[in-house]
Amino acid sequence: MSFQTTLEHFLRTVGRTRRSLHTLWRRVTRQQRTITEAPNLLPTLIKVLAAFTRTDGEMLEEEIDSILGFLRYDYPEAVYSGLRQLFRHALEEKQDLSAMAAKLAVDLSNDRKILLGVQLYDLIARSGMKEEQLIVYHDFLFKLGMS
């Protein structure tokens, strides 16, 4: 196993663990979602994920569930299925990543920006780390205020 693969696996595991612990803590303490976790950002976040997803043909249900998996346990099934439909629709549209990065730069905390960056990196890694995707990724992070 190469160093890059090990690092990617470690970052994904850390991100998933952190999200799970945060969600569990919020539920145990019965805290409401913060502004940065509010559902009004979900459509933008889903469009960003769709923009970075490789769209060479039809996506399998498992791929959509994998990409949106971090939302599955935070929302009721009806909301989650609506998010899946929004994701499918966003895959068919051209996304303006610059505008979305500008919006998220203001609306997300630094922790959330880092988690988004890790999630996007994971998507790019799964699709083969194409140079064009990496350029778009670095540009997006720069506009997000993270590089």
In order along the chain (147 residues), what is the average pLDDT of each group of 10 residues?
A: 72 73 68 52 84 60 69 74 84 88 89 87 78 88 88
State the DSSP string of 42-63: HHHHHHHHHHHS--SSPPPHHH
Sequence-separated contacts (24+) of 46-49 with Cβ below 8 Å:
46/83, 46/86, 46/87, 46/90, 47/90, 47/93, 47/95, 47/100, 48/95, 48/97, 48/100, 48/104, 48/116, 48/120, 48/140, 49/87, 49/90, 49/119, 49/120, 49/123
* Cα-to-chain-centroid distance, residue 46: 7
**Confidence at residue 55, expressed as pLDDT on a 0 to 100 scale:** 45
**pLDDT value of residue 35:** 40
Q: Which pLDDT value is given to residue 36?
A: 44
Say whether 2 sits in a helix, a strand or coil: coil
For 126, phi then psi, to 5°, come to: -65, -30
Q: What is the pLDDT of residue 141?
A: 93
pLDDT of residue 138: 92
The whole-number pLDDT of residue 62 equals: 64
